[in-house]
Amino acid sequence: MPDKIRLGLIGASVKGTWSARSHLPALRASAEVELTAVCTTKVESAEAARQAYGARLAFHDFRTMAASPEIDAVAVVVRVPSHYAPVKAALEAGKHVYCEWPLGQTTAEAVELTALAADRKLVTAVGLQARVNPALMYMKELVDAGFVGQVMAVQVSMIRDGVLSRPSNRTWQRDVELGANTLTIANGHTVDAMRFVAGDVGRLSAVVATQAKQWLDTGTGTLLDVTSPDHVLLSGWLANGAVASVHVGAIPFAGSGYRMEIYGREGTLVATGEDSPQMSEVFLHGVKGGDTLTPMPVPARFTFASAATPRGQPLNVGQMYTVFANAIRGGASQQPTFETAVGLHRLTDAIRQASDGRREMSFA
């Protein structure tokens, strides 16, 4: 295998996208992965991305790129409804795959893709980057080592502003059937961070609501009807017996950001950030046997992306590429895999069902 894993990235637009803000800068800095090829839907934009980020190859058909012997792995960083086809093509071509979350538009798609990857014995990663956020990895280590003792209660909130309007290129998210909304995206990342650090969900009740039933399209000035939820509230028990509550919401103004509180018999840990933990820096405070929280600096060993990786949104993506490359080379699998994604898809389904049926759901 070459010194670096040769990667083809599907969804390589050069500005304004998650790919441009995170994946492409992370890959440009990576010591483990080479951005060998880029793919967009048009020849011109693919070539522009190739030149902008120094890739050797440009494609406008993901099937052609997936079949190329010049690449070892594929990253799929496109809109959620378009995840399934390129992931399947890459797996069928024998390529390892890193797909952004959600893995599929539905749980059935995620299950199918996971089975295909397992059948081909390919390494997978899913973009639940909170699991490689340095502060949350340290927080998990502390919980597992007994810093807080028996976990008794967990409280999580992630409140983001800007619910009343969207630019034209994001108004497609208003349709709940397309799979990219507060329940699947913001709530998915937030709840997955909780289950990573504090433990899996056992039983839950939920409210899933659409409070802003119209969005202003800032490009056209028109109001558009919305079916996608913008608030998710959970309460219940973790499998380890702790009680848990979660509120993930999109509100008009002055969102409070991210906060996860873990209360145990022997101590408390609190993680905070300006935005969702998969893409923002998280700060950790704690106390053992006392009442005053103090800052807990994160040891350097939890940051393993290349030192050249920009801070902010590219950092956790760079972390993911590092562990993905290590797994491809036969090392330990530290990254969230397609199996991780299927578990979260099923939990998301349970949340929706609990809300729709106004009943408690068992999950674990």
64-74 pLDDT per residue, tens: 999 999 999 99
Q: Is residue 1 pLDDT above 90, yes or no?
A: no
Q: Give the model's pLDDT for residue 2.
A: 65
The token pair at 236 is 């219940």
Q: Give the model's pLDDT for residue 282.
A: 97
Q: Give the model's pLDDT for residue 14.
A: 65
Find which of 162-171, 262-271, 355-364 is predicted with most confidence, using mean pLDDT.
Answer: 262-271
> CA dist 205 to 51, 235, 304, 350, Å?
50, 5, 38, 9
The ranges of the chain annotated as CATH 3.30.360.10 are 131-301+345-362
SS (H, E, C) the chain: CCCCEEEEEECCCCCCCHHHHHHHHHHHHCCCEEEEEEECCCHHHHHHHHHHHCCCEEECCHHHHHCCCCCCEEEECCCHHHCHHHHHHHHHCCCEEEEECCCCCCHHHHHHHHHHHHHHCCCEEEECHHHHCHHHHHHHHHHHCCCCCCEEEEEEEEEEECCCEECHHHHHHHCHHHCCCCCCCHHHHHHHHHHHHCCCEEEEEEEEECCCCEEEECCCCEEEECCCCCEEEEEEEECCCCEEEEEEEEECCCCCEEEEEEEECCEEEEEEECCCCCCCCEEEEEEECCCCCEECCCCHHHCCCCCCCCCCHHHHHHHHHHHHHHHHCCCCCCCCCHHHHHHHHHHHHHHHHHHHHCCCEECC
Bridge partners (DSSP) of residue 161 are: 251
More confident residue, 170 or 13: 170
Q: Give the model's pLDDT for residue 17.
A: 87
Pick the closest to residue 37 from 2, 87, 72, 3 (CA basis).
72
Query: What is the C-alpha to C-alpha distance for residues 259 and 245, in angstroms, rounded to an integer?
Result: 12
> CA dist 292 to 9, 64, 155, 286, 312, Å?
46, 58, 18, 8, 28
CATH of region 131-301+345-362:
3.30.360.10
112-152, pLDDT tens digit by residue? Answer: 999 999 999 999 999 999 999 999 999 999 999 999 999 99
197-216, pLDDT tens digit by residue? Answer: 999 999 999 999 999 999 99
Q: Are strands 73-76 and 294-295 parallel, antiparallel or unpaired?
A: unpaired
Question: Mean pLDDT across the chain, nearest whole number?
Answer: 95
Taken as a whole, the chain contains a residue count of 364
CA end-to-end span of the chain: 40
**Quick check: 249 and 231 in contact, CB under 8 A?**
yes
**Quick check: 85 and 11 in contact, CB under 8 A?**
no
Region 318-345: what's the mean pLDDT? 96
- 203-214 CB burial, b ≥16 within 10 A, e <16: bbebebebebee
173-204, pLDDT tens digit by residue? Answer: 999 999 889 999 999 999 999 999 999 999 99
- For 5-122, CATH number out of 3.30.70.1520, 3.40.50.720, 3.30.430.20, 3.30.450.40 equals 3.40.50.720
Query: What is the C-alpha to C-alpha distance for residues 34 and 36, in angstroms, rounded to an integer?
Result: 6
The token pair at 65 is 């790129």
The ranges of the chain annotated as CATH 3.40.50.720 are 5-122
Q: Give the model's pLDDT for residue 339.
A: 98
> CA dist 122 to 39, 98, 125, 210, 329, Å?
21, 11, 10, 39, 11
Query: What is the C-alpha to C-alpha distance for residues 114 and 95, in angstroms, rounded to an integer?
Result: 13
210-239, pLDDT tens digit by residue? Answer: 999 999 999 999 999 999 999 999 999 999
Region 21-42: what's the mean pLDDT? 95
Region 11-30: what's the mean pLDDT? 88
Query: What is the C-alpha to C-alpha distance for residues 247 and 159, in angstroms, rounded to an integer?
Result: 8
| pTM for this entry | 0.95
